[in-house]
Amino acid sequence: MAPLLTLGAALAVLGGAAGPAQATSVQAASAQAAASGGYRYWSFWESDGGEWTYATQGPATARPADGDVIGFRFSVSEDSQDSAKPRHAADSFDAVCGRTPAEDGDKRIAVVIDPGTPADAPDGEQPPARRTACARTGTDATAADALASVAKPLRYNSTALLCAISGYPKTGCGDQVSGREDAAGSAASPTAVTSTDDDSGGGPSAGLLVGLAAVLALGAAGVWQARRRRG
C-alpha cells in the first residue's frame, strides 16, 4: 500500500466539499490508515473491459457514460485491495438495459447492487436479494445520481458517507468489525471505513489522525538528521 498517497487522498476529500458518495474515497483512505480489523460498508465499482475495478473516485464525482456498468457491494474488508467485487457480470449492460431505448439528451447506466452475504450483515439483519436496474439520467449525471434514481431510499451520515442503499442496512455506517469472526465465511472482503454512524462528527477519523502523526514524526526525524549533519 502507499500510506502517503492514502493520507493525501483523505486530506483532499476532507479539505474540499464532500458530496454524497465521496464516501468511497474517505472510506478507503481512512481504512488503509487505520489498518486494524475490518469494516462494513458499501464499496463502489466500475466495469473496465468486462472486469470489475475498484473505483478511483467516489460516485459523486464519477460520471459514467451511456452504456457503462457500475456496481455497489456491501461487505467486510480490511483494505481496498482485498475488497469483494459485485457478484454479477461486469459486462452486463445489454442484459440490464437492453429493453431501455436510447433517447437524445439522456444516457443509460446499468446499476448492479449486491448487498453481500449473511456473514457480512450487521447483527439482526439479513441482506436483501441482489438486483440490477437500468438508470436513465441526464448526460451530466454522476454515478451517485444514477444510484439515487433506482435505489431509494439512500442514507448518508453527517460526513457524507454512503451508509445504506434501498434502506440496507437499517443502522450503522462503516462500522468496524472487532476481529474477523463476523466476516467468517464471506467469499472476499472489501475496503474500509472510519465513520461510526449517522451521528458521527465531521472531523478526521482516528485512523487519519494516526496517519498524520506518522507523517509528522517522519518529517521531524528528517529535520533532526539534517541539523545533526550541519552540526
- Per-residue confidence of the chain (231 residues) as pLDDT tens digits? 333 333 233 323 333 334 444 444 444 444 343 445 689 999 999 998 789 999 999 899 999 999 999 999 999 988 777 789 999 999 999 999 999 999 999 999 999 999 999 999 999 999 999 999 999 999 999 999 999 999 999 998 888 889 999 999 999 999 998 754 433 333 333 333 322 233 333 334 444 344 444 444 444 444 444 444 455
End-to-end CA distance of the chain: 36
Please report how the helices 23-34 and 206-230 are oriented relative to each other, as an axis angle in degrees rounded to 10: 60
- In angstroms, rounded to a whole number, what is the distance separating the alpha carbons of residues 46 and 147? 13
- Amino acid (one-letter) located at 16: G
Note whether 174 and 163 are within 8 A (CB): yes
SS3 annotation, 22-54: CHHHHHHHHHHHHCCCEEEEEEEEEEECCEEEE
Report pLDDT for 81.
Answer: 76
Beta bridge partners of 44: 72
Entry pTM:
0.65
